[in-house]
Amino acid sequence: MNSLRDSSAARSHRNTFAAAGLERAAEHRDDAGWLAAQRASPRARFVMFDPQQRTPAHGDRLHLLAAAQVPADAEASLLGLHDDAPLFVLHDHTAGASVGDDAQWLSLREAGLRLPAYEAGLVAYAHGLRNWQQATRHCSFCGGALQLVAAGHRAACPQCGRLHFPRTDPAIIVVVEHDDACLLGRQATWRPRQYSTLAGFVEPGESLEDAVRREVREEAGVQVIDCDYHSSQPWPFPASLMLGFTARAAARDISLGDGELEDARWFTPQHIVDGVRSGELRVSPPLSISHRLLEHWLRARADIDLADVLRGAPDA
C-alpha cells in the first residue's frame, strides 16, 4: 500500500461520517444576497429531520427536498455546495413536505450504516449543526436570547454582543499494543462479550498525546510510552470529534482505576480471530472508528483482514 493511499487523510476518509467532502462556502455566510440566490436556486436541496431526529431515505439513498417543496418562510442553514448545488438543513420539520409513501426514516446511526459515505457525512454534518442550534438558545454570559447569524453557523447575543460558535468536543480513541497483543476494554452497559479500544475526552490545556497517556492510565492502569495519530471521525452524539491513535505500552499489568471499565484484557490476533468466529468476542461495528483502529492493527501485525474474520461469524 503506497504512502499516499495510506495517509491519515485517506484513513479518515474511510471512517463513517467523515466523507461529506462538500465546499462549505464559509466566506459567503454573511452575504445575504448570495444566500438568498442560493436558497432560490432550482438546484438547491434541503436535508430534513422529523421530530424524532430522523431523516428520510429511499432504499439506501438519502431523500433531499427540492426548493419548490420548501415554504419560502421556512428557516434553513447553509451547509455548503456539492457540485455547485447549494445544500441546506431545515431548522424544523416541514409539515406537508412529500417524501413518498415508501420513504424510510433513519436515525443517525442507521444513516451511517446504510447510506453512501458522502450522504452519511452530510447527514452527520446537518445533524450536528442542528443539535447545536437547538441546544444554544441563550447566552452563557448574560442569559440573553440568541439570534442565529452567518447562515446558522454563529449565534449572536443582542444584549452583550458576544458570539457563540458550534461546539465540538475532542476525544481520543486508541488501540494500545504490547508485543503481540492489543488492549481492549468493555463497559458494563455494552452488549455481552463486546470489547473495544479505549477512549476519553481531552481536558483543557492538554495535548492529544497527553490525553492518550492519561486516559489509558486512568482506565486500565497501563503506561503508554509512545503514540501516533491514525485518523479522525466526526461523532455527532451529540458533538464529539474522535481522534484515533495507535500506541505502545511499557508492560501488560492491568489495574482498573476510574470505574469507566468493568473489564480490560490483552488480545493477540489469534485470540480475536478465534473469539469473533466462536461468538465469544464482539468487536465494535464498522460505524465506529474503533473498528477501523482494530482493523488497522490486525492487518499491520498479522496480515489479518477483519472483514474476513467477521464474515460468517455468529454476531456479524
The answer to whether residues 131 and 145 belong to one domain is no
Tell me if 28 is assigned to some domain. Answer: yes
What's the average model confidence in pLDDT over 258-268?
A: 95
Q: How confident is the model at residue 101 (pLDDT cuts 50, 70, 90)?
A: confident
Identify whether 283 is part of a domain: yes
CATH of the domain at 149: 2.20.70
Q: Which of 145, 166, 187 is the last residue of a domain?
A: 166
Asked whether 122 and 62 are in contact (CB, 8 A), the reply is yes
User: What's the CA gap between 11 and 303, in Å, rounded?
Assistant: 17
Does 211 share its domain with 151? no
pLDDT at residue 4 greater than cutoff 50 = no
How much is the pLDDT for 144?
A: 97
Q: Could you tell me the CATH number of the domain that includes residue 26?
A: 3.90.79
pLDDT 10s digits, 139-151: 999 999 999 999 9
For range 287-315, the mean pLDDT: 94
- pLDDT band with cut points at 50, 70 and 90 for residue 316: low
Task: Determine, yes or no, domain membership for 211.
Answer: yes
Residue 14 class from Cβ within 10 Å (0-12 exposed, 13-18 middle, 19+ buried)?
A: middle
Q: Which amino acid is at 290?
A: S
Which CATH number fits the domain that encloses residue 221? 3.90.79.10
* 3 lies in some domain: no
The pLDDT tens digits for 175-218 are 999 999 999 999 999 999 999 999 999 999 999 999 999 999 99
Q: Are residues 141 and 35 located together in one domain of the fold?
A: no
Range of the domain at 296: 169-310
**What does the pLDDT read at residue 5?**
58
Per-residue pLDDT, 127: 97
Question: Could you tell me if 232 and 123 lie in one domain?
Answer: no
Whether residue 127 sits in one domain with residue 49: yes
> If we measure between CA atoms, which residue out of 20, 248, 6, 245 comes closest to residue 125?
20
- Parallel/antiparallel/unpaired status of strands 169-178 and 181-186: antiparallel
Question: Does residue 3 have a pLDDT over 50?
Answer: no
Could you tell me if 162 and 256 lie in one domain? Answer: no
pLDDT single digits (tens) 23-44: 999 999 999 999 999 999 999 9
| Neighbouring-strand partners of residue 154 | 149
pLDDT band with cut points at 50, 70 and 90 for residue 96: low
Q: What is the reported pLDDT for 62?
A: 96
Statement: residue 118 has pLDDT above 90: yes
Cis peptide before 238 (omega within 30 of 0): yes
Report if residue 127 sits inside a domain: yes
Cα 30 to Cα 34, 57, 128, 149, 302: the distances in Å are 9, 31, 21, 8, 52
- More confident position, 101 or 74: 74
Domains: count for the chain:
3
Please spell the DSSP secondary structure of 148-165, one letter per residue. EEGGGTEEE-TTT--EE-
